[in-house]
């Protein structure tokens, strides 16, 4: 999907703001690691095992490698669209790892890690990027908007923020029906401006369903910085007005994210819903249709680079003696190979035909759809396009 | 006369109105610094300031709602909805407040707001970035709907919309934004909303269309004339509410056959209203059933939507031929 192409600069981006993570105590942000990966924060190290830390690290690295490859596939015209993750890998990995597999996750648009952490394949992920007939959503959704019932991952509806009340409603239903699942939703700082955010918080405060709402505050919503989005850029504190427990956490610190999410999850009977604000930064483009040079100083990204979640985690693991350059090199090679296999497999898959769009409109089709389908199939030669 | 793309023409129209009418303000997500995700408002915030080209929070309903308030007070807000797939959050505010205030307040107030809705498919945008929202708005009352699809119309009709005393929804042709360039005469008189245009005169069958499909339909008409000796009259509707019944009826009286083409899905699509009006006003002239070539009643799919959801040339052609061959 292409929306614009020009590079002409017209705006006057605001001056870069200091990285909030460097002022964690002052800003009430829970943190374990400093920018150099030392345990130096305001909450204690959860002391995960080497195996658990490797899982975090390797998944963050894999997500970054996928992001890099996806971007290149888009730029070379092999897929039509891409939604970058660069710099936000920690939230999706650590938060997902703090849940049980039966818990439901409603996603926003950048969380590819959930798919892999819950055991779905890289091949099917790339099949989704290519819009293949074989992937669970059958080529219906833009690349990156993966989801699948077998792993309790609900793809975003695309209207950002719109699914917040759906997550609250699903959790509420689980409570009413005695289900064991808890529900978690990822949404962005921009999405918190929509009415649905306020509605979801209000209902959640009243009915106390087992829901965790993770506001991934990455500083931007397309070209809009926080100060244009809200006068109170502490998103967690918005929970106070609705009686929803809330926590602010370093979104580039997997240890703090894991601690905070696990606590909210394991104590949900006691706490009720929690609003977690994960403070992070979108280092990359909004999407492949975007061009940050038009509205953001590169210097702002430079300020954030030391706080890169992968860098901090690697330093932590190196300090523990769990990681070194040879392991790093081997991991990168392994990921490249796995991704290449997935690309090759996706490229060999089928493209959906015109008939497939008529499936799943209702549980059962009806004469109206059948008549329209028959006519379209008789009028188009499959695979032919006129522009 | 200057050559402009559709995008540049829209930008020029807004600049012109901002310059000449202090009541005009623009509101929308991301419209300021970078000029919107399509760059339609590029440069306007620098030129007219942040109080007139206003970046809003990500809240379509809020944007529309606050614009209604501004318009009630006497300003002329021009709202950009980032993609028309996200416009439905505004329906209560636009349709049941903004478009009704004049009536419910006994004609004492008006809401002269313009809503720019980047619409239609063709950029592999999937379900919400390829959307035709007109029917949701046409079913109400109190809002005009226009669909310019050339640089000249984009320029002139957007100005007409901004100056109109009532709410106007502008369906902008996303796939043509940068691809279509043409002459724009900024000195032409501001057109009346409600006029169609005959794009290609013809004697055998009338093809009624609006939005980007207009161009495809003209191409199909040209090839049918060469290959099959079928002389298609192509009418670009340009305005849906109100629509130009006179131009349609006189064409149908001449050709006796009507094919309506649109990207929106079939059931309750705008074609249904036109077909109903034509059969009641020109029944005696019809020589074949009125046909509709439109999207099916399913969502637009990312992978196949642009090819098989939006009517392609094969389907437009088939619809016209079928109507020509219909025997009574
Ligand atoms: C209701 C709605 N309006 C506009 C858009 C277009 N859009 C897509 S993502 C986005 C920004 C979202 O910002 P945020 O919630 O902060 O998430 P981020 O992209 O930063 O991850 C916008 C405006 C949309 N998808 N849905
Ligand atoms: Mg954001």
Supply the ipTM of this predicted assembly.
0.95
Residues B161 and B267 in one domain: no
Choose the mutation target among B131, B304, B306, B312 for the interface with A, i.e. most A CBs under 10 Å.
B304
Q: Catalytic residue, from B20, B66, B129, B262: name it.
A: B129
Which structural domain, as residue segments, surrounds residue A24? 2-352
Residues B39 and A6: beta-carbon distance below 8 Å: yes
| A157 vs A149, more confident | A149
User: Per-residue pLDDT tens for B128-169?
Assistant: 999 999 999 999 899 999 999 999 999 999 999 999 999 999
Would the pLDDT of B327 be above 70?
no
Alpha helices in chain A (DSSP H): 50-75, 89-97, 113-117, 122-129, 164-177, 195-207, 226-229, 254-266, 268-271, 298-304, 309-320, 325-347, 367-379
B262-279 tens-digit pLDDT? 999 999 999 999 999 999
Strand partners, A187: A215
**In sequence order, what are the residues at sequence separation of 6 or more whose Cβ sits closer than 8 angstroms to the Cβ of residue A103?**
A152, A181, A182, A183, A184, A265
B326 — contact with chain A (CB < 8 Å)?
no
How far is the first Cα of chain B from the last one, in angstroms, to the nearest whole number? 49
Residue B271 covered by a domain: yes
Do A13 and A142 share a domain, yes or no?
A: yes
**Ligand that lies nearest to the alpha carbon of residue A219, given by its number in the listed order:** 2
Average pLDDT of chain B is 97
Interface contacts A/B by beta carbons within 8 Å: 171
pLDDT of res. A268:
98
Tell me the per-residue pLDDT of A258-275, one tens digit each, with 9 for 90 and over.
Answer: 999 999 999 999 999 999
Tell whether B247 lies on the interface with A, counting CB pairs under 8 A.
Answer: no
Q: How many domains does chain B have?
A: 2
SS (H, E, C) B55-124: ECCCCHHHHHHHHHHHHHHCCEEEEECCCHHHHHHHHHHHHHHHCCHHHHCCCCCCCCCEEEEEECCCCC
Any idea what the CATH number is for the domain that residue B9 is in?
3.40.50.970
**CATH code for position B202:** 3.40.50.920
B129 is catalytic: yes
Residue whose pair of structure tokens reads 């069958």 in the numeric block: B205
Q: Is the peptide bond before A195 cis (omega within 30 degrees of 0)?
A: no
Reported as a pLDDT band with limits 50, 70 and 90, residue A14 is confident
Largest pairwise CA distance in chain A: 68
Residues B277 and B245: beta-carbon distance below 8 Å: yes
Most ligand 1 atoms within 8 A of CB, residue of A111, A157, A160 to mutate: A160
Is residue A2's pLDDT more than 80?
no
Instruction: Give the gap in angstroms from C-alpha B61 to the nearest C-alpha of chain A.
Output: 8
Domain termination residue (choose one: B184, B214, B245):
B184
**Tell me, what's the pLDDT at B1?**
87
Of B30, B45, B301, the CB nearest to A224: B30
* pLDDT score, position A380: 85
Alpha carbon distances (Å) from B86 to A169, A220, B131, B134: 22, 19, 9, 13
For residue A222 and ligand 1, the question of a CB distance below 6 A is answered with yes
CA distance A383 to A387: 12
Percent of chain B whose predicted confidence (pLDDT) is above 90: 97
Q: What is the DSSP string of A167-235?
A: HHHHHHHHHHHT----EEEEEETTGGGSHHHHHHHHHHHHH--SEEEEEEE-SEETTEEHHHH-S---S
What mean pLDDT is reported for chain A?
95
Could you tell me the distance, in angstroms and rounded to a whole number, from the CA of residue A189 to the centre of ligand 1?
9
Q: Tell me what pLDDT residue B105 has.
A: 97
Task: Determine the pLDDT at residue A385.
Answer: 47
Looking at the structure, do residues B259 and B313 belong to the same domain, yes or no?
Answer: yes
pLDDT of residue A15: 83
- Whether residue B99 sits in one domain with residue B204: no
- Token pair of A284 as six digits: 């990359």
CA-to-CA dists, residue A178 to A171, A172, A174, A209, A268, angstroms: 10, 10, 6, 11, 14
Reported as a single tens digit per residue, the pLDDT across A158-212 is: 999 999 999 999 999 999 999 999 999 999 999 999 999 999 999 999 999 999 9
From residue B160, alpha-carbon distances to A379, B98, B103 in Å are 39, 18, 22
Q: Would you state the torsion angle of the CA atoms of residues B302, B306, B311, B314, taken in this order, to the nearest 10 degrees?
A: -130
Token pair of A101 as six digits: 């597999």
A383 → chain B, closest CA residue: B307
List of chain B residues whose C-beta atoms are within 8 Å of the C-beta of residue A295 = 33-34
pLDDT tens column, B237-271? 999 999 999 999 999 999 999 999 999 999 999 99
Q: Is there a single domain that holds both residue B164 and residue B215?
A: no
When pLDDT is cut at 50, 70 and 90, the band that residue A383 belongs to is very low
| B41 and B113 assigned to the same domain | yes
Could you read off the pLDDT of A295-324 as tens digits, one per residue?
A: 999 999 999 999 999 999 999 999 999 999
Tell whether B217 and B86 lie within a shared domain: no
Residues B249 and B147 in one domain: no
Judge contact between B6 and B151, C-beta under 8 A: yes
Ligand number with the minimum distance to the CA of B118? 1
Give the chain B residue nearest A230 (alpha carbons). Answer: B57
Q: Which of B138, B157, B184 is the last residue of a domain?
A: B184
B24 lies in the same domain as B126 = yes
Interface with A, mutate which of B29, B33, B179 (most A CBs under 10 A): B33
Same domain, A45 and A166: yes
> Where is the domain boundary, B134, B150, B184?
B184
* Residue A51 CB coordination number (10 Å): 8
Percent of chain B with pLDDT over 70: 99
Please answer yes or no on whether B296 and A294 come within 8 Å at the CB atom. no
Chain B, residues 187-216, CB within 8 A of chain A, namely 216
Cβ of A159 closer than 6 Å to ligand 1, yes or no, is yes
What is the spatial distance between Cα B325 and Cα B318, in angstroms, rounded to a whole number? 10
Please count the structural domains in chain A. 2
CATH number at residue A63: 3.40.50.970
Q: Are residues A343 and A318 in the same domain?
A: yes
Instruction: Kindly state whether residue B189 falls inside one of the protein's structural domains.
Output: no
pLDDT band at A16 (very low <50, low <70, confident <90, very high): confident
Cβ(B122)–Cβ(B310) under 8 Å?
Answer: yes
Residues A289 and A375 in one domain: no
Local confidence band at A1 (pLDDT 50, 70, 90 cut-offs): low
Is residue B13 within 8 A of residue B155, CB to CB? The reply is yes
Closest Cα to atom 7 of ligand 1: A160
Whether the pLDDT of residue A6 is over 50: the answer is no
Query: Are A248 and A308 part of one and the same domain?
Result: yes
State whether A247 and A378 are in the same domain: no
Domain match, B211 and B168 both: no
- Find the domain containing B317 and state its range: 197-325
In this structure, are A40 and A103 located in the same domain? yes
Same domain? For B243 and B301 the reply is yes
CA B175 to chain centre: 13
User: What's the number of CA atoms in the CB half-sphere (13 Å) around residue B77?
Assistant: 26
Give yes or no: residues A73 and A91 share one domain.
yes
Q: How far apart are alpha carbons A116 and B169 in whole angstroms?
A: 43
Percentage of chain A modeled with pLDDT above 70: 95
Pair (A325, A380) in one structural domain: no
Residues B175 and B202 in one domain: no
Mutate to test the interface with A, among B91, B126, B219 (most CBs of A within 10 A): B126
- Sorted by sequence, the CB contacts under 8 Å of residue A314 that are 6+ apart come out as A37, A57, A323, A328
Alpha-carbon gap, residue A367 to A152, rounded angstroms: 33
In a domain, B226, yes or no: yes
> What's the whole-model pTM score?
0.96
pLDDT for the residue numbered A3 = 55
């Amino acid at each position: 999907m292409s929306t614009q192409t020009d590079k002409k600069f017209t705006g006057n981006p605001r001056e870069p703001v200091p990285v909030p993570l460097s002022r964690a105590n002052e800003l009430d942000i829970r943190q374990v690691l400093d920018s150099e990966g030392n345990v130096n924060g305001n909450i204690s190290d959860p002391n995960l095992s080497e195996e658990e830390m490797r899982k975090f690290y390797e998944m963050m690295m894999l997500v970054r490698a996928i992001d890099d490859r996806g971007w290149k596939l888009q730029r070379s015209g092999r897929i039509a669209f891409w939604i970058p993750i660069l710099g936000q890998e920690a939230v999706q990995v650590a938060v997902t790892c703090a849940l049980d597999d039966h818990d439901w996750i409603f996603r926003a648009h950048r969380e590819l890690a959930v798919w892999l952490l819950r055991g779905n394949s890289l091949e099917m992920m790339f099949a989704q990027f290519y819009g293949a007939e074989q992937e669970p959503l059958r080529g219906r959704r833009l690349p990156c908007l993966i989801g699948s019932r077998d792993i309790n991952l609900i793809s975003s509806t695309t209207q950002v923020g719109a699914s917040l009340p759906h997550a609250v409603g699903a959790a509420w239903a689980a409570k009413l029906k005695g289900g064991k699942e808890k529900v978690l939703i990822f949404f962005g700082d921009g999405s918190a401006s929509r009415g649905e955010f306020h509605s979801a918080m209000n209902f959640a405060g009243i009915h106390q369903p087992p829901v965790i709402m993770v506001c991934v505050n990455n500083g931007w919503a397309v070209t809009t910085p926080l100060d244009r989005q809200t006068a109170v850029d502490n998103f967690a504190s918005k929970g106070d007005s609705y009686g929803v427990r809330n926590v602010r956490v370093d979104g580039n610190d997997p240890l703090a994210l894991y601690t905070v999410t696990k606590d909210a999850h394991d104590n949900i009977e006691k706490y009720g819903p929690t609003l977690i604000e994960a403070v992070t930064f979108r280092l990359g483009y909004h999407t492949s249709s975007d061009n940050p040079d038009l509205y953001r100083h590169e210097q702002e990204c430079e300020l954030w680079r030391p706080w890169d979640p992968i860098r901090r985690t690697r330093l932590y693991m190196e300090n523990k003696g769990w990681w070194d350059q040879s392991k790093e090199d081997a991991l990168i090679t392994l990921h490249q190979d796995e991704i290449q296999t997935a690309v090759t497999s996706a490229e060999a898959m089928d493209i959906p035909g015109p008939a497939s769009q008529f499936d799943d409109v209702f549980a059962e089709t009806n004469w109206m759809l059948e008549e329209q389908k028959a006519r379209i199939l008789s009028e188009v030669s499959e695979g032919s396009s006129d522009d | 006369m200057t050559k402009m793309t559709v995008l540049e023409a829209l930008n020029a129209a807004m600049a012109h109105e901002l310059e000449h009418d202090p009541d005009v303000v623009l509101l929308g997500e991301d419209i300021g610094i970078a000029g919107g995700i399509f760059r339609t408002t590029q440069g306007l915030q620098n030129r007219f300031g942040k109080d007139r080209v206003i970046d809003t929070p990500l809240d379509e309903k809020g944007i529309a709602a606050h614009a209604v308030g501004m318009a009630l007070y006497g300003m002329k807000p021009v709202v950009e909805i980032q993609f028309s797939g996200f416009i439905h959050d505004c329906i209560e505010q636009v349709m049941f407040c903004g478009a009704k205030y004049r009536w419910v307040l006994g004609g004492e107030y008006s809401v002269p707001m313009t809503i720019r809705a980047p619409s239609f498919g063709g950029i592999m945008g999937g379900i919400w970035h390829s959307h035709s929202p007109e029917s949701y708005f046409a079913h109400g009352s109190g809002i005009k709907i226009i669909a310019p699809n050339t640089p000249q119309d984009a320029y002139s009709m957007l100005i007409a919309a901004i100056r109109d005393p009532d709410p106007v929804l502008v369906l902008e042709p996303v796939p043509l934004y940068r691809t279509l360039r043409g002459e724009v005469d900024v000195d032409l008189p501001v057109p009346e909303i409600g006029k169609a245009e005959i794009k290609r005169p013809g004697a055998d069958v009338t093809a009624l269309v609006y939005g980007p499909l207009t161009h495809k339909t003209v191409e199909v008409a040209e090839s049918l004339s060469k290959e099959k000796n079928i002389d298609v009259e192509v009418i670009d509707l340009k305005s849906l509410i109100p629509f130009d019944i006179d131009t349609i009826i006189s064409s149908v009286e001449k050709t006796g056959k009507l094919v309506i083409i649109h990207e929106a899905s079939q059931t309750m699509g705008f074609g249904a209203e036109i077909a109903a009006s034509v059969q009641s006003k020109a029944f005696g002239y019809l020589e074949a059933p009125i046909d509709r070539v439109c999207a099916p009643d399913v969502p637009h799919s990312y992978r196949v939507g642009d090819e098989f959801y939006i009517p392609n040339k094969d389907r437009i052609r088939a619809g016209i031929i079928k109507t020509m061959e219909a025997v009574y």
